[in-house]
Structure 1
Amino acid sequence: MDKCYVCKKLTKTHCAKCQKTHYCSKECQKKDWKEHKKSCNNKLPVVKINEIIDESDDKIIDESDDEEITEFIRESDDDDDEDDDDFTELLFNLMLLKHPELLINLMYRKHLEGSKVPDFGKEYATKYPNETKRLQLLNRSRSLIIENQDVDKYLNLNVNGELFHTLKRWNEYSKELIKFISSPRKIGDIFTEKVKKSFDEFGGKYAQSFSNTPKQSMTFDQGKVHVAVGFVDLDFLLRARIVKTMNSVNEPNKFIGYEGSIYAVAKTNVIKEMMIGKAPIRSIIEVWFSSVWTKKTLKCFEDAVNKVLKYKDAPNNGPPNPTKNELHPKVRSLISHWSKSVKSPKSRQEAHKLWAEAFDSGDSIFYLVTNLVEPRDRIQATRHILTGEFPLMDDQQQKNLIASITMFNCNNGISPHSTSEFMFEMMPTDPILSGNNRKITPFLKAIYNFLEDSITKICNWLSPPARKTESIEIYLHYQSVNNDNPALHASIRQLDPWIMSWSNICDFFNVHDFHKLLRACSGENTVHLVISMNWITETYGAHIMDYNVELRRKIYAKGQNIISMSKIISDMAGYFRYDKITTHPYNIADIGAKILVEDKWKNHFFKGQDMKVGKLSLVPFSHTHKIHTYLDMYFTYNKKINAYTNYC
């Protein structure tokens, strides 16, 4: 006996197709069918139609079963399928032959095919037919994506005590965690003993090619200071604007960055000098994002490298001068290595090979491809994912192309793009897609146009035209910001920063220690911007599998509704699908789960702090994001000012 999913009465009957969800009557099944049909499936093997017909001539069903199947067929029509008429006719013929097991098998196969996973490998082959290994990767990835569309398979799992799930869910496996998850707890409880890894444990050798988190649009008051800790690149400036307010000062804005990555400091300083020197925007984009450059870009890169090498040395003992161009010896070593590498760059083929070596099997980035509406966009996005080229170089002569120096010519054990990373992850969808016509502007072109306009703006800030008051100075330093460096704290505090951004560095600190650090660096009116990626790994109830099976589907449905609304917010042109997307069920379900506990984590994060909280918000869903559970926060320790106006 089990409870009817709709009315909760005890019943022995269940859905004839999936044999999991219980209903006490056809009336209850009808009430739930609109939602249930999205995930209904069974576990019977899918075999060829003619094989079942040949082997099933002696199998008969009675009139009552026939009536149930007839009703089921009627309810199962999918208006979105182009081949619905043929499929319905086949079902009708099979019904007349009275083969229920065939009907169930066929519906299961239809469920897999109907999960709307485009054959992006086949599409890619229309333009690149001879790339056998890449096509094999695409086919394997598509098979994994199709397999992951089995919603009930995941939502009905019993994962209690499973080592693999525990590691994936909590990102650790410790005695403290086992005690937490095995003791009585309620939704919203915080795992306060979580082991925090140091963000600078690699001694500066950790290298990201570009940021992997989305950034919100910001307004800079003219003449004020922005301190960016863990900046990775200049993505914060892409959407920023400078305005005059009652707080403005008649002097250039200052963007001062501190990073624990040698690579990020070296590369971003070179890009800054390319901007100051008015290098072609395409060349700046190639150095920032692409695995392959043109030789024209190589020359612009070399000129900028020579300018950076003229910076003075940073002090050996003590923090760098925040408003001076200074190079730490380790950063100078890498840039000097790049200067030598310019003379013998690797080929485009070598770039493709080195890029591909970072792929995980069945990389989840292909979910983005499957949800693009236009086949043209799926082919182009797939090409970028497989090669790392941006923009795509198919229109360039082979002899004019070389491998990125910054990605593939580093020294001292520095290895950028050592794991799957893609520029899509940092892209803010709403300003890119909402202003374009999908039929006219391809997806990659829309991204390029956004970067071209944004980088042109930054170039004009760095070298402003005559009579323009908006200007900015950028200073980037190799320096870890932690609680063990009071001299650095004092140096930052003296800048009286108007805004301090911390990327997701809060994920590497205990809450008390993180607030201690921020207070030590704060000026009188400083507003802090923080993003958390890992908050769900310390909040019980932020993952769908923390709930009992009965609640999971409701939370999953809530996640689907939130995603459906995302189109209105950021993609009116409809570059992507939002109603029937292909992704792992957890990615949808966790969106529904996180809204139930975000306030619990907020209370934990700000507990005991005498301060003014500006806002804590969930970053809107985007197909381009790496994860879909980011929390975005801004706040100040000065209770007399409005954190919101300082930020927006």
Structure 2
Amino acid sequence: MTEFLTDMMLRMNVGGTVENWNVPDFGNEYATKYPHEKEQIRYLNSAKSSLKSLQIVEKFIDKDMDEPDPEHIFKRWRECSDTLFKFLSSPRQIGDIFTGKTKEPYVGDKGRGALSFSNMPKQSLALDKGRVHVAVGFVDLDFLLRARILQNKNSIEQPNKFIGYEGSVYAVAKTNVIKEMMMKKAPIRSIIEVWFSTVWTMETLKHFENAIKNVLQYGNAPNGSPPNPTKNVLHPRVRSLISHWVKSVGSPKSRQEAHRLWTKTFNSEDSVFAVVANLIEQRDRVQAARYILTGEFPLMDDQHQNNLIASIAMFKCNDGIFPHSTSEFIFEMMPMDVILKNCKREDTTFLNAIYKFLEDAIAKVCNWLSPPVGKTEKIEIYLHFQSVTNDNSALLASIHKLDPWTMSWSNICDYFYAPDFHKLLQACSGKDTVHVMTSMNWILEIYGAHIMDYGSKYRREIISNAQKMISSTGALLDPSGYFRYTKVITHPYNIGDLGATMLVKEKWRDYFLKGQKLNVGEVSFEPFAHTHKIHALLNIYFTYNKDIKVCTEWL
């Protein structure tokens, strides 16, 4: 019915402001390969109808709202506080900062938060040989997938050290297991399955079991004080989870149960289906839909049913830890600007392009952990369950003593007011530390980062400029054309917001860095990709040492 009404409104289109997107019929395409999966086919048909209905939003881009819409305000600002309404009702200009934004603590769940994997692409960073990198809020090892170890004047003849601190018990436990699998040269496919997939082969279960037993040989971390940063030690809660996995390997859930638990966290209106719709090839749409519906990566259709089990790491946890408790997909963390440039649509499917990137990148990290004869790049990885906050002065002093060459902060800047965040970074910094981070939520702090913040007479031009940017980005980063870059199938606000954020980025940058004595490397947008959960990611890096020039070409 939704699709029928949408088609009728498009046919009655007055003024010609809405152009038919021609959304592919990916539900019926899926049915050609999986004809017996009636429920999944209905689900995909519903997703297609939801995407088609978004075209109608285009009709309202030129309309100004007479009264504030509380639902729109909440979606736009993610709060409906008195402070926000006071800000919105006061005289304001494009670029004004909402300084009263409510900030949620990033460790508010007492360590039970559990992302299965990162939800955004990381920057490519050069690690000077022999130096220390500290990763705060690391989630997994995706930061190392694009990293390079360089020999230069700053190098030291010793192994690099990657020291991670995380407020999630699950992230520390699972990533230590993956590290052990890498060190023992488990098959790359098994590492990928443990890291990303809802379903494992029996071979992967064997390598997982070996790895968790190895991790349990680590020493004990103190419960009430910072751990030794360069020792393999486990917090009691991390040890408890891994011990639970040891007990669970003999009673895994089924493949079908994995699929059911996976799909509980999203519905047919989830924005991830726009990834499917914007793919050019039918084969890629079917495979992407299959991944979304099952969480299998790689897809397991070529495996015998008796050889498959549900992921122990994803579906067998204790102490109230629930991985995949919200919608999450592998697409969101993939650096599409790297993947799509290195593959040709005619030769390689979309999912295989992702797999090839992971295969090569993980093999590189495996060789860093256990270098082949003749290789000089070597890295040691230490991962700790610790919350890096201004209240944890002993931990901050411990990090400072490491004299980190680089520090990555994921999107932790989103959970702090700017002055408090800079205070935290300065307490951790060594003399020459370069800090790297990404903001996902900066658009919630500035007026003008959303297309509907602008008067109706300006919106079409902003959207037009954004569409031109998307087209040029696609030609550069996706030369063989895996995706469409004209008539993009997405909520019209997503296109408009791309243009809007370009107009206010510098204003937010000035606010975030205000009053700080530092050298800024760059504050820049992550290149557009259909797979991003948020299309206005800001990559930021700088140092508090005014004598250092941050070399942007290395990042």
Normalised by the length of structure 2, the TM-score is 0.97
Alignment pair present for 1:142 and 2:68: no
Deviation digits for residues 143-179 of structure 1 (CA, Å, limit 9, x no counterpart):
1100102353341344442110111000111111000
Within the alignment, does 1:359 sit opposite 2:293 as a pair?
A: no
Q: Is 1:126 the equivalent of 2:126?
A: no
Tell me what 2:134 maps to: 227
Secondary structure of 1:149's counterpart equals helix
2:143 is the counterpart of 1:236: yes
Q: SS state of the match for residue 343, structure 1?
A: coil
Superposed CA RMSD: 1.8
1:472 paired with 2:348, answer: no
8 Å contact 1:544–1:590 — kept in the other structure?
yes
Where does residue 115 of structure 1 map in the other structure?
21
Q: State the distance in 2 between where 1:375 and 1:351 align.
A: 26
8 Å CA contact 1:506, 1:514 repeated in 2: yes
- The question of whether the paired residues in 1 share the 8 Å contact of 2:284 and 2:350 is answered with yes
Distance verdict in 2 for CA 1:46–1:430, change over 3 Å: closer
2:59 to 142, 153, 169: 153
User: Structure 1 pair 645/564, CA: closer, same or farther in 2 (3 Å)?
Assistant: closer
**CA-to-aligned-CA distance 1:229-273 (integer Å, 9 cap, x gap):** 000000000011111000000000000000000000000000000
Query: Residue 64 of structure 2 contacts residue 455 of structure 2 at CA under 8 Å; is this kept in 1?
Result: no
Q: Is the 8 A contact 1:44 1:105 kept in 2?
A: no
- Return closer, same or farther for 1:321/1:44 CA change in 2, 3 Å cut-off: closer
Report if the CA contact (8 A) 2:221-2:227 is conserved: yes
Structure 1 unaligned regions, length at least 5: 1-42, 48-101
- 2 CA distance for matches of 1:306 and 1:157? 61
C-alpha distance in structure 2 between counterparts of 1:369 and 1:139, whole Å: 12
Shift of 1:514: 0.3
How big is the shift at 1:647? 4.9
2:225 — aligned with what? Answer: 318
1:493 — aligned with what? 400
The structural deviation recorded for 1:593 is 0.3
Change (3 A) 1:438 1:471: same
Which of 554, 558, 562 is residue 469 of structure 2 equivalent to?
562
| Alignment-derived partner of residue 436 in structure 2 | 529
Output the amino acid matched with 1:134.
Q
Report the counterpart of residue 293 of structure 2 in structure 1: 386
DSSP 3-state at the match of 1:249: coil
Q: How far did residue 573 of structure 1 move? A: 1.2
- Alignment deviations for residues 351-387 of structure 1 (CA, whole Å, 9 cap, x no partner): 1111111113411100000000000000000000000
Amino acid at match of 1:133: E
Q: Distance in 2 between matches of 1:288 and 1:540?
A: 38
How far residue 576 of structure 1 moved from its aligned partner, in angstroms, is 0.5
Aligned residue in 2 for 1:545: 452
Whether the aligned pair in 2 keeps the contact of 1:112 and 1:146 (CA below 8 Å) is no
Q: Which residue of 2 aligns with 1:633?
A: 540
Q: CA deviation at 1:645?
A: 5.4
Deviations 1:495-547 (A, max 9, x none): 11010000000000011100000000000000000110000011000000100
Change in 2 beyond 3 A, CA 1:161/1:151: closer
In structure 2, runs of 5+ residues without a counterpart are none
Whole-angstrom distance in 2 between the partners of 1:242 and 1:537: 36
> Would you say the 8 A contact 1:270–1:305 is kept in 2?
yes
Worse-matched range after superposition: 142-151 or 580-589 = 142-151
Distance 1:254 1:45 in 2: 56
CA–CA distance in structure 2, aligned partners of residues 300 and 44 of structure 1? 52
SS of residue paired to 1:210: coil
Q: Distance in 1 between matches of 2:140 and 2:421?
A: 23
Separation of aligned partners in 1, 2:218 and 2:63: 58
Match of 1:461 among 355, 368, 371: 368
Of residues 514, 521, 524, the one that matches 2:421 is: 514
1:368 and 2:275 aligned: yes
| Alpha-carbon distance change, 482 to 44 in structure 1, aligned in 2, over 3 angstroms | closer
Q: Partners in 2 of 1:451 and 1:505 — Cα distance?
A: 25
163, 168, 176: which one pairs with 1:256?
163
Q: Is the 8 A contact 2:50 2:268 kept in 1?
A: no
> Which amino acid is 1:366 matched to?
F
Task: Supply the AA of the counterpart residue of 2:50.
Answer: L
**Do the aligned partners of 2:170 and 2:238 also contact (CA within 8 Å) in 1?**
yes
Q: Distance in 1 between matches of 2:60 and 2:382?
A: 48
Q: Which of 346, 349, 356 is matched with 2:253 structurally? A: 346
**In 1, Cα distance between equivalents of 2:231 and 2:142:** 21
**Whose Rg is larger?**
1
For the Cα contact (< 8 Å) 1:154–1:585, is it kept in 2?
no
Query: CA–CA distance in 2 between the matches of 1:185 and 1:107?
Result: 35
Determine the C-alpha separation between the residues in 2 that align with 1:282 and 1:46.
44
Q: Distance in 2 between matches of 1:646 and 1:319?
A: 35
Q: CA separation in 1, counterparts of 2:190 and 2:475?
A: 34
Tell me the amino acid that sits aligned with residue 156 of structure 1: D
**For 2:387 and 2:5, how far apart are their aligned partners in 1?**
56
* Greater RCO (Cα-Cα under 8 Å, separation 6 or more): 2
SS at match of 1:202: coil
- In the alignment, the residues of structure 1 paired with residue 49 and residue 139 of structure 2 have an alpha-carbon distance, to the nearest angstrom, of 34
Give the Å deviation of 1:646. Answer: 9.0
Cα distance between partner residues in 2 of 1:317 and 1:387: 40
CA deviation after TM superposition for structure 1 residue 643, in Å: 1.7
Shift of 1:128: 0.7
Separation of aligned partners in 2, 1:176 and 1:44: 39
Amino acid at match of 2:32: T
Provide the rounded CA distance (Å) in 2 between the counterparts of 1:356 and 1:371.
21
Q: 1:44 to 1:488 in 2, by over 3 A?
A: closer
Q: Note the alpha carbon deviations across 1:253-305, whole angstroms, 9 max, x for none.
A: 00000000000000000000000000000000000000000000000000000
Quote the Cα distance in structure 1 between the aligned partners of 2:179 and 2:355: 19
Residue 105 of structure 1, CA deviation: 3.5
The 3-state SS of whatever aligns with 2:161 is strand
The superposition leaves residues 375-434 of structure 1 with CA deviations (integer Å, 9 ceiling, x where unpaired) of 000000000000000000000000000000011001111101111100100000122111
Contact 2:17 2:58 in 1 (8 A): no
- The answer (yes or no) to whether the contact 2:6–2:56 under 8 Å persists in 1 is no
Cα deviation, 1:109-161, whole Å, max 9, x if unaligned, reads: x9989312100001000011111111111111111100102353341344442
Question: Bigger shift: 339-348 or 565-574?
Answer: 565-574
- Summarize the alignment of residues 425-436 of structure 1 with structure 2, pairs less than 5 Å apart: 425-436=332-343
* Equivalent residue number for residue 14 of structure 1: none
Secondary structure in 1 aligned to 2:551? helix
Write the letter of the residue equivalent to 2:22: K
Matches within 5 A, 1:170-319: 170-319=77-226
Alignment equivalent of 1:592, drawn from 486, 490, 499: 499
Identical amino acids, percent of aligned pairs = 62
Offset at 1:642?
1.1
What amino acid is the match of 1:144?
S
Q: Deviations over 1:199-226 (max 9, x none)?
A: 0000000100000011111111100011
Q: 1:409 to 1:541 in 2, by over 3 A?
A: same
> What SS does the corresponding residue of 1:148 show, helix, strand or coil?
helix
Query: Which range moves more in the overlay, 604-613 or 145-154?
Result: 145-154
1:44 and 1:464 map into 2 onto residues whose CA distance is: 61
Deviates more, 1:327-336 or 1:158-167: 158-167
Cα offsets for 1:453-476 (capped at 9, x unmatched): 000000000000112110100000
- Any conservation in 2 of the 1:292–1:348 contact (CA below 8 Å)? yes
1:464-489: CA deviations, max 9, x gaps? 01121101000000000000011111
